[in-house]
Copies of this chain bind each other. A is one copy, B any other.
């Protein structure tokens, strides 16, 4: 059986209350007593039961993370930072991979509440989950509007879209196509597309957007329908990579015949595909701010922004070089 406070007290020859006092640094404790207690804890291999503690103090120091999947480089890196920063602040992290499925996200939301998490950070992609409407606990959304009451943190998607599109134009591209993942209007990521469209129009160019909804045929369709394409702005690096592969298959040289720019700039894509120009999201900063806002909510501080937008950085590489 696991030792409890009582056992520690017995071994140390003190009362349970004293042990608790040592554990929580409350009231007066003598140096020798403190030492005796610590020695006893070590001897018994005692670990205070956080479950019991949480029950009483009504706080678990747990944060739920709901994201589509850790397998994706962007979310993997974001989750890494979130966990890291949370840990440094004394919080633990319950991981939930919603896989873009609404039913899973709902299930996780319930689970997290039953487990009394102190707050939730969500970057999943389902819309219309009513549970978010009146969150009875602190929530922060990342790159996603969950409800009016829930603060959002995202990078400056509009600025990113502008920078990417403008770069292609500056490099002399005339037929620039945008390709993005499944569209949900509630996503700040759509601002990338809006920026693309506006920049195109401002330059007397016609915007043309394709949507990749896990139907691989878009890539070949895109080239078939636009043989004159000379610039592609993909809404993430993985899609950009697919585009590059299709171009290679068709013998189209990058960057001389076609210029490509992606989005995200994660460590992994930068390592595996350093030649790809991209718009780097400040992933760590997003994590820092999301947690900052979440903790303010948890601590009932009111002074947090309902929407935070962080600037992005253009990383120019071979795929857009002349």
Instruction: Enumerate chain A interface residues (CB-CB to B < 8 A).
Output: 2, 45, 47-52, 54-55, 60, 65, 69-73, 76-77, 79-80, 83-84, 87, 92-97, 99, 110-111, 113-116, 136, 237-238, 241-242, 245, 266-269, 271-274
B-side contacts of A65, CB under 8 Å: 95
* A241 in contact with B272 given A52-B55, A72-B76 (CB within 8 Å): yes
B-side contacts of A273, CB under 8 Å: 272-273
Cα A266 to Cα B268 with chains together (Å): 12
Selected contact of A242 from candidates B51, B71, B271, CB within 8 Å: B271
Cα A51 to Cα B49 with chains together (Å): 11
Cα A51 to Cα B110 with chains together (Å): 14
* A271 in contact with B94 given A51-B116, A80-B71 (CB within 8 Å): no
B-side contacts of A268, CB under 8 Å: 71-73, 238, 268, 272
Question: Could you list 21 A-B pairs, sorted by A, with CB under 8 Å?
Answer: A49-B114, A50-B114, A51-B54, A51-B55, A51-B116, A70-B70, A70-B77, A70-B79, A70-B83, A73-B73, A73-B76, A80-B97, A83-B96, A94-B94, A237-B272, A241-B271, A242-B271, A245-B274, A268-B268, A269-B272, A272-B273
Question: In this complex, what residue of B is CB-closest to A266?
Answer: B71
The 9 closest A-B pairs by CB, nearest first: A76-B76, A71-B80, A95-B95, A71-B77, A47-B113, A272-B272, A50-B114, A70-B76, A70-B80
Given A50-B116, A73-B268, 11 new contacts (CB under 8 A): A47-B110, A51-B51, A51-B55, A70-B77, A71-B76, A71-B77, A71-B266, A237-B272, A242-B271, A245-B274, A269-B272
